[in-house]
Every structure is written in structure tokens, then in C-alpha cells.
Amino acid sequence: MAAALFVTILYRTARTSLEPRNQYERFIFGALFWFALGMVWNHVFFFAKATAANERALVMRIATLDGPLRDIQLLGFAALIIAGVSQRFLPMVYGLARPRHDRQTLIFVLMNLSLVLNIVSYVGLVRSRNPLFAFGLEAAYLLMPVWAVLLVKQLGIFSRPAQPDRTFKFIRAAYTWLLFACFMMPFFLVYGSLTGQRFAHSYMGAYRHAFTVGFISFMILGVAGRVVPMLAGVHGNRIGSLWGPFLLLTAGNTGRVFLQVATDFVPRYAFPLVGVTGFIELIALSWWGLEMWRTMNLAGRRRAPALGAPTSGSPLVIIGAVK
């Protein structure tokens, strides 16, 4: 019910928008579609587990349904909505140059095509063991780095921003991790075959951590770190550089990704260190959270003017436009 209300409210809000339709909106609506489908799939997954007749049936149902559910959540909802918001928000806020060739339609098609092919091929492979589905799954994985590279080029993430900011390092790191995670996937089946695993759990876990903490969390930290001072009316020279949280989160995430793969080879040494990386990430996120708290407290002493008050082109006007 909550998911249905969320999607409905956003859809009705978009319909009343005074601005003309923009291409980036298809990413937002695509993400909402996958979000709604993921909620339905989640219920199917729950009842499939709850009604399993025995342990073997339970394991098979988890093996069949869990992977597609995670892909719907990460590649369908999270990736699409971040891609859509990025195309609206990042070029304006950081002053990124427009791409020479607009590939938004191609990126949108590839992101959805790779996900659909992924789900169909994965379920078909698990249920039938037909090697043809393995080729389809590999094709889906090969499309992932393609759309990731095109998205990075579309946004100009590695170009020089006209409006540099302390948070842009988080944005660049996020898309670096997206590239890394997407380039991992074409090697998933190869890795499993070389290590004699039907399903390489450690490798898949490393990929998902690179995607969730590396891409999603870095994006959240970067965008929030940029927006909060704007809305608080706090100038950049009054707040910290955030290098501490950035370096700690980078170290923790890098350690987790590589050590999780290492558990297949040196589990005695890798597993304890994997736990340590979690504490490093916790410290990084706590440090960042305290910085945001401090920034918001500064707003009480120096209130930001209304969103419509600043002159055209100011950060607050940009935030108002995005809202």
C-alpha cells in the first residue's frame, strides 16, 4: 500500500508540472515501474518461501527468485532513478558541459533491456539448466558496462566542473564504483566456472557491495552534502572538506569488495578483515552524518532566504527548479 501511494503521488505530481516533459523523466518513471514490480515480486518471494514443502524446495525457490528481486531493486529502481536525477541535477549544480551526442534514449533502452534479459535468462537457467540461457545471461551482463560507460559520458562526470565543490569527489567516486561494479559482471560466470562454483556467492556479494555502498551510498552522500548547505544558507568556507569520511568510506568499501572475493581463497584471513571494513564504513558514515548535523545547526543562526528570492542562477534557485 505504501509503495502504491508513493508511486501514485509522484505520478500525479508530475502530471501537474508546469514544465514541459523532459527526456530524463523516462528514467524516473521507469524506476517507479521497477519499484512497483519489485514490491509485488517481494510478496511472491515471501509466499514462495513460506509455502515450500521441504528444505530442497525452499532452497530452489530462494535460488530462483532472490537474484532477480535484488536486480530489480538495484538495477531497476536504484540505477534508473539515480541516472534520471543525475541528468537533471548534476549538470546544473556542478556546471558540467553538455555532451556532444545525446544518448539518453539509448542508455534508457540498454538499462531496461539488460535487466529484462538478465531476469529471463537467470530464471530460465536456474529452472532448466539449458546452456542457451547462460548465453543470454552473459549478454545481459555484457550490456551493463556499455550503458554505464555511456551514462558517464552523457553526464561528463570526469570533465572539469565549472562550479567545483567539496562534494564532487563523492559523485566521481560513485560513478567510478558504478563502472567497476558493471565491469565485474561479465566475469561472474567465468569466475564461477574457474573456481568450480555453480553460483559464486562471494563474487556476487562483492559486486553488490560495490554497487550499493560504492555507487548508491556515495551518490547519497555527495548529493546530500551539496544540497544541505544550500538549503541551510551556509557558505562552503564555513564547513569541512569531508575528506575524512570520503577516504574512510573509500577504504572500507574497497576492502570489503576485494576481501569478499578473497574469502574463496584465504577464508581464514579474509573473513575477520571483512568484519573490520564494516566498522570503517560505520565510522565514515557517522562522521559524515555529524558534519551534516553541524551544517543544519548553522542554519538556525543564519536562515537561508526563500527559494525564489536569490538572483537567477544561484544554487538555491537551482534547488528550487529541481524540486
pLDDT tens digit string along 63-102?
Answer: 999 999 999 999 999 999 999 999 999 999 999 988 888 9
The answer as to whether 241 is a domain residue is yes
Residue 117 and residue 259 in one domain: no
Same domain, yes or no: 203 and 314: yes
Percent above pLDDT 90 for the chain = 80
Cα 229 to the center of its chain, rounded Å: 23
Same domain, 150 and 170: no
Structure confidence at residue 22 as a pLDDT band (50, 70, 90): confident
Q: Is residue 150 part of a domain?
A: yes
Q: Does the residue 7 lie in any domain?
A: no
Which of 157, 180, 196 is a domain's end point? 157
* 279 and 176 in a common domain: yes
- Mark which of 157, 183, 204 sits at the end of a domain: 157
Residue 17 lies in a domain: no
Angle at 90 between CA 180 and CA 315, to 5 degrees: 145
* Contact predicate 104/24, CB 8 Å: yes
pLDDT band at 301 (very low <50, low <70, confident <90, very high): low
The residue among 182, 191, 188 whose CA lies nearest residue 144 is: 182
Give the model's pLDDT for residue 302. 57
Residues 151 and 171 in one domain: no
124 and 230 inside one domain: no
Check residue 318 and give its pLDDT.
40
Domain count within the chain: 2
What's the pLDDT score for residue 250? 98
Judgement on whether residues 204 and 112 belong to the same structural domain of the protein: no
Taking CA atoms, 92 is separated from 203, 316, 319, in Å, by: 37, 11, 9
Domain ranges, residue 170: 165-323
Whether residues 322 and 211 share a domain: the answer is yes
Statement to judge: residues 292 and 147 lie in one domain: no
Same domain, 66 and 42: yes
- Give the 3-state secondary structure of residue 167: coil
Q: Are residues 173 and 278 in the same domain?
A: yes
306 vs 112, residue with greater confidence: 112
How far is residue 191's CA from residue 255's CA, in Å, rounded to a whole number?
A: 19
Mean pLDDT for the stretch of residues 223-240: 84
What share of the chain has pLDDT > 70, as a percent?
Answer: 92
In the predicted model, what is the mean pLDDT of the chain? 91
Lowest mean pLDDT among 136-140, 142-146, 176-180, 230-234: 230-234
pTM of the model: 0.90
Looking at 111, 141, 157, the residue that finishes a domain is 157
In a domain, 318, yes or no: yes
